[in-house]
Structure formats: structure tokens, C-alpha cells
Structure 1
Amino acid sequence: MIVLMSLVKYLSSFNLMLHKVGRNIAWVLVTLMISVILLQVFFRYVLNNALPWPEEAARALMIWMMAVVAGEAYRKGSFVAIDMLILALPDKAASLLKLALYLLAGLVLFKLFTLGIDFFERGFRSRAASIHISRAWIYLAMPVCFFTMLLSNIELVLREIGCLLGKADEYALNFKEK
């Protein structure tokens, strides 16, 4: 039980640090994306001379913005979810169902992470049309996204195991650390 609590604490601390860094990067990326879009609006509608690169740059910035915050959103439960069944079940059954779903999600996330690595490696064979960088650097967002989600998933699995062992008050996510 002590080992499980230690693992949860260390992984939780690491995830919180990673999510804080991701949030800060996301603000910068959103600011850059908005700036690029406004630049394109100015050139297109004021100067009547559209630039060739802002749409692709804004799309790449948006992809990366999503990738750096997805792990935190998953950990907080911020994605759309249908939880009627879990809420209707008794605590132990709900906890077992959540654990099974987390384990299944973990397998999917691991597979997506490995596919994302392959996609990243293949991205070096082509270049983005208008911003002239290797597509691999845009595609790298997917393994980053799935890895941070996988780390959050592992923490959630360990917390759910702790809840099943009868220590729900100790293993439940603290809203202050979300």
C-alpha cells in the first residue's frame, strides 16, 4: 500500500509539473496562432494580397496547442463523457468499471503513441507546402499528446486501484491538484 501511494504521489507530481509547462506553452501557441490569423486577415482584406503561409502555420500551432494540454484535460476528466452508468452503479462496481475502462484506454493510448512515433519518423520524407519545414515536426505533436495522456492514464489506474483497496479518500484526485 505504501509503494502504491508513493507511485501515485511521484507520478502525480510529475504530471502536475508537465501539465503546468504544457499550459504555459499552450498560451504562447494560442497567442501566436491568433497573431498569424490576424496578420492574414490584414494582408487579405486591407492590402488585398493574401500571404501563402498563415493558414498552414495556424493549423500547426493549433495542433501543438491541443497536444500540450490533452494530458491535463484527460486527467481532469474534461473530455466529453457519458457517466450515467458509473453514477448508477454501487461504488465498488463503478470503481471496477472505471478501472477496466482506464486499462482499455491505456492500451489504446499506448498503440496510438507507437503509431504516432512511426508517423513522426515518416514525416521527415515530406515538407509542409508553405512554411517549408519537415512535416515531422508537426506530426511530433501526436506522440507528445498520447504520451502525456498515457502518463495521466497510468496515474488514474493507480488511483483507481487504491480506491478499490478501500482508500478512496486517500487516492481520489484532489481538486486543488487538478
Structure 2
Amino acid sequence: MLLRKCFELMDRCVNWFLAILMAAMVVIIAAQVWYRFVLNDPLSWSEEAGRYLFVWISFVGAAAGVRYQIHLGIDLMDKLLPPDAYRVVVIVVNLLIQIFLLVIIYWGFKILGIVQFQESPSMHLSMRYPYMAVPVGSILMLINSLRVTVAAIRNETLDKEVRV
């Protein structure tokens, strides 16, 4: 019960984080359009900030996609296979995904040590922060993949309703 509450809190935090990142990206890109085409004085940092926000949205959004099982291949297999065979496929696929994510997490942290002293060209931000999206998003994907695997082993389904 406590673990379920922790996972629900994690899901809500991830959903809010994604909503905030999306809102920030929309505001920054809209400001860039306004400054460039209306005021004829483009912002020097907005394109870079939008790019880094998009990277974070992609990796954290992929973690949410794993959690809510909304990837195309999984949905297709669910419709093509009988329930027991589908369960086995979900378990095997998630185990392969988890191995891949462990490699990504390992190398993601290794790369952070290399890029931490580099600065972004416009914002003069340590490149550690944009690159941190890789291991953070992969850790969240790994946790959610483990949740899906455990639910499949127990022959349960995770709630697919998105809550904010």
C-alpha cells in the first residue's frame, strides 16, 4: 500500500514536471517569435532553451509512456495475441528494455562527468543540465518498466488513467 502511494506520487510529479516543461517551452518559443518578428530584435538564448526543454520533455515523456503503456508496439501486440502469450511478450520485452536502460544510465552518468565543464553557447549553462535528461529519464523509464513487469507477472494491470 505504501509503495503504491509512492508510485502514485511519482506519477503525479512526473506529469506535473512535464506540464511545467511544456508550458515553459511554449512561453519561451512564443516570446522568441514575438521578439523576432514583431520587435525585430531576436532573443539570443531562446532557441537553445527551447531545445534543452524539448530534450527533457522527450526523455521524461518517454518514462511516462512506459508507465501508461502507450507505445505503439505494445498496443498492437495486445490486439494480435491471446492474453497469456501477450503477458509473456510484455515480460520479455520489458526485461530487454531494462537491460538496455541500465546501459544507458551507466553511460549517461559517465558522460555527465565529461560535459560538466562545457558551457552552452548562448545561456552559458553547464552542459551537465541538458545531458542530465538522459540518465534521469532512463531511471524513470527503468522504474516504470519494472512496475509493468511486476504487474504482468502478477497478472494485474496498471491503471492507465493519467492523473495530475
Question: With structure 1 as the length reference, what TM-score do the two structures score?
Answer: 0.81
Deviates most, 12-21 or 39-48? 12-21
Matched, 1:101 2:56: no
Deviates most, 87-96 or 41-50? 87-96
Percent pairwise identity? 25
Residue aligning to 2:67 = 75
Does structure 2 retain, via aligned residues, the 8 Å contact 1:56–1:130? Answer: yes
1:174 partner SS = coil
5+ residue gaps, structure 2 = none
Residues 130, 138 of structure 1: alpha-carbon distance in 2 compared, 3 angstrom cutoff? same
Residues 91, 43 of structure 1: alpha-carbon distance in 2 compared, 3 angstrom cutoff? closer
Whole-Å separation in 2 of the counterparts to 1:128 and 1:62: 15
Residue aligning to 1:110 = 102
Residue aligning to 2:119 = 127
Aligned length: 163
2:116 partner SS = helix
Counterpart selection for 1:150 from 142, 151, 155? 142
RMSD: 2.1
Whole-Å separation in 1 of the counterparts to 2:84 and 2:62: 28
5+ residue gaps, structure 1 = 1-5, 164-170
2:43 partner SS = coil
How far is the alpha carbon of 1:79 from its aligned partner? 2.3
Question: With structure 2 as the length reference, what TM-score do the two structures score?
Answer: 0.87
- Paired residues for 1:161-176 under 5 Å: 161-163=153-155, 171-176=156-161
1:81 partner SS = helix
